[in-house]
Structure 1
Amino acid sequence: MAHNPVNHPARPIYRAIGGLTGGYLVVFGALGVIGTAGNDFFAQDDTLVLGQGANLAYSLVALVTGALIVLGTVLGRNIDVQINKILAYGYMVLSLAALAFLQTEANVLNFSVATVIVAMVIGMVLLMAAMYGKVGSEEEQKAWHEARLLL
């Protein structure tokens, strides 16, 4: 049995937080596409969007992932939980990889230290939303609660 709660009382709040995170990524991506228009796709310059380094490639990544998160939040039915979980791990891996390649030519998404921090926070917030947003039947909730009492 998973350690994540089923039908957590604050589930709507966590779902809203996940949706707001997706909304932020959509806004960042849209502003990034506008702000980096005319630059190379993988430009490595000093372009900043909302205080973060960005280029057209990362702006599109943020726009697409944000739209997926918002779509999952609107659909619900644990689809948002799965999307948030997968994208949370993806954002954490992306931020750690970007941190490793920050001052090299391999920094193809034009990350800055601020972008790395924001990407890691986004990953952690999405993971939190995924962990507490699961919806289940009353039987699943009772089984989860009884398993917690045995520990």
Structure 2
Amino acid sequence: MAHTPVNHPARPIYRAIGGLTGLYLVLFGLLGLVGSTGEPAFGLSDNRVLGQGTNLGFSIFCLLAGGLVLFGTVIGRNLDVLINQWTAYVIMVVSLGGLAFIRTGANIFNMSVASVVVLMFLSLVLLMAGMYGKVGSDDEHEAWQKARLVL
């Protein structure tokens, strides 16, 4: 895409921000795993970790999503850009689904309003990290600059 920055000067910072987001998801998933041991995987309870509602299923989801983001951050080579963007989209869908079903029996991830807000924030941070972390050749950078200046 011509409007996505290539070789942005702050790309190492965005890559680190993506990695920290993945680290938070892994930490939340691990704490949720410990806190929801012995409960049903998709059960509704008053279990809270870091102020957010959770259960075993949601903890495993966060653990997997965070692990995937950390994997992409370690590998780099624009794989982190792809992983950050698609993981952000998946987390957005999950958080919007959680918001839609928050006070029903279909709330399989035992989400609270705090969970929805934090997940939406994390997905936007991941999307930002994915948009500004792209690395390319000098020709691609020049093409991006020309496309940017045309607008």
TM-score by length of 1: 0.98
Does the 8 Å CA contact 2:21/2:66 hold for their aligned counterparts? yes
Where do residues 72-111 of structure 1 align in structure 2 (5 Å cutoff)? 72-111=72-111
For residue 31 of structure 1, what is the aligned residue in structure 2? 31
Residue identity opposite 1:46 in structure 2:
D
Counterpart-to-counterpart distance in 1, 2:64 and 2:149: 41
Counterpart-to-counterpart distance in 1, 2:4 and 2:66: 24
Counterpart-to-counterpart distance in 1, 2:135 and 2:23: 22
Counterpart-to-counterpart distance in 2, 1:149 and 1:102: 45
Residues 1:60 and 2:60 aligned together:
yes
Counterpart-to-counterpart distance in 1, 2:133 and 2:36: 35
Spell out structure 1 runs of 4+ moving beyond 3 A.
none
1:35-60 CA distance string (max 9 Å, x none)? 10000011100000111000000000
Counterpart-to-counterpart distance in 1, 2:22 and 2:76: 14
State the percentage of identical aligned residues.
Answer: 60
User: Structure 1 residue 104: deviation in Å?
Assistant: 0.1
For residue 148 of structure 2, what is the aligned residue in structure 1? 148
Residues 1:51 and 2:60 aligned together:
no
Counterpart-to-counterpart distance in 2, 1:53 and 1:122: 16
Counterpart-to-counterpart distance in 2, 1:88 and 1:63: 14
User: Structure 1 residue 141: deviation in Å?
Assistant: 0.2
Counterpart-to-counterpart distance in 2, 1:30 and 1:2: 39
Counterpart-to-counterpart distance in 2, 1:150 and 1:56: 50
Secondary structure, aligned partner of 1:69: helix
TM-score by length of 2: 0.98
User: Structure 1 residue 2: deviation in Å?
Assistant: 2.9
1:47-93 CA distance string (max 9 Å, x none)? 00111000000000000110000010000000000000001011111
The alignment of Structure 1 onto Structure 2 pairs a total of residues equal to 151
For residue 131 of structure 2, what is the aligned residue in structure 1? 131
Secondary structure, aligned partner of 1:4: coil
Counterpart-to-counterpart distance in 1, 2:148 and 2:55: 46
Counterpart-to-counterpart distance in 2, 1:138 and 1:75: 21
Counterpart-to-counterpart distance in 1, 2:141 and 2:87: 25
